[in-house]
Amino acid sequence: MLKYGIWLLTVGCWLLASCGEEPTANSQEPIVYSSPVDYDIVLAGNFGEPRPNHFHGGIDVKTDNVEGKQIFSIANGFVSRITVNMYGFGNAIYVSHPDGNTSVYCHLKCFAEPYEQLLTRTGRDTLDLHFDAGQLPVNGGDLIALSGNTGHSTGPHLHLEIHDTETWVMRDPLEFLGPYVADTVAPQAHSFMAVPMQGEGVFNSGQTKQTFSFGQSDRKVQSSRIQLQREFTAWGRVGFALWADDYCESTYNHYGVRYTQLLVDGREVFSSNVDGIPISTTREVNDWGDYDHWRHNHTWYLKSYREPGMRLPILHTGFSQGIITFNEERDYHLTYILRDYQNNQSIYDFTVRGVRDSRVRICRHDLLLNPYQLYDQCLWPLYSHCYP
């Protein structure tokens, strides 16, 4: 009996001990991130900027317009991949970190000694080497490469991406490197676009999309609130889109806006938070943005509503998909709130008066039970449930 008890105790201790050890082996530990360069970071581009067919997948760190700046690993981990290519990322090095993220350093001139020796270069190379954990461990702050201008790059800079190692979802590097990037300047909106839904809405008596300027504003301010004096009219279903840029104090560059929110009478109808973009959705930038407008004007109006079929997880809308129904003859107060990663903020208010228009028939969306019906009935209206 005693023997049996001791055996139980022993097994129990072993179980306890192994339970205690198990989590540290596989769990994703929080780790400390540091700057990839040894001077103040100034960005030439930020994460998620809309570009034709894709979102900018990382940050562009300025390198003083020269090659050869020392590039350091931003955290502990191991070198998991090295690529050499005339296109794309050019010379690139990947570091996998124990918190489940991988940092990718691109357009490099060359790699630091221990890595450069692993490559047998013959000239016009395309190399893609993968390494296991334990082969090439690095510490945060270790020199891993020199910056360059290789691959698809229009000038010397460091393009740095951070991905979820498992899913390869693209993260905003400022989530990790925010403290190293000075920014006390709020994003600014230039103008908005009103997009009446075809046959279902009018804006300022027009049935096609129209743009309206917010006027020239002070660019380099930390926060601002602008009220448009002009009054607009609308009836039926209207979507909105916004042309806006973010800025920082130390350069003329402009960036994408991290957070955008559209409120109607104080209630959110749309918001976007540009972090965590699955690679498989990157082409949806052409649907979120008004691609046709970009082709003609090279400015991106980003919609504050969701087109049918869009999966982009950075957009948040309710039941109405962000489209506003003006169906009461009263003032609607619309507010755009723009924020950057450092919480600099600008606010734009404008008023839209609901004015009945006989060209538009409004569906009583509130009578419908589910959004699939809503979508069907608004594209192919049955009108039995509509009033003039």
Residue numbers at the binding site for Zn ion (CB under 5 A): 60, 159
Would you call 381 helix, strand, or coil by DSSP?
coil
* Under 8 Å between Cβ of 72 and 142: yes
**Residue in the structure block whose two tokens are 């042309």:** 243
- Of 154, 155, 159, which is closest to residue 67 (Cα–Cα)? 155
- Nearer to Zn ion by Cβ, of 159 and 339: the residue is 159
Nearest approach, Cβ of 47 to Zn ion (angstroms)?
Answer: 9
Which CB atom, from 159 or from 163, has the smaller least distance to Zn ion? 159
Min dist CB 60 to Zn ion, Å, is 4
Q: Which is nearer to Zn ion, 60 or 357 (CB)?
A: 60
How far is the C-alpha of 73 from the C-alpha of 37, rounded, in Å?
9
Q: Looking at beta carbons only, is 106 or 194 nearer to Zn ion?
A: 106
Closest CA to 48 of 241, 269, 288, 219: 288
The contacts of residue 162 (CB under 8 Å, 6+ apart) are: 58, 101, 102, 103, 104, 170, 171, 172, 173, 175, 176
Nearer of residues 46 and 327 to Zn ion, judged by Cβ: 46
Decide if 289 contacts 282 (C-beta within 8 A): no
Shortest Å, Cβ 135 to Zn ion: 28
Quote the least distance from Cβ 159 to Zn ion, whole Å. Answer: 4
The residue sitting closest to Zn ion, measured at its beta carbon, is 159
Shorter beta-carbon distance to Zn ion: residue 17 or 66: 66
CB of 64 to Zn ion, least distance (A): 16
Helix (H) or strand (E) holding 65: none
- Distance CA(273)–CA(269), nearest Å, equals 14
Residue 158: CB minimum distance to Zn ion, A: 9
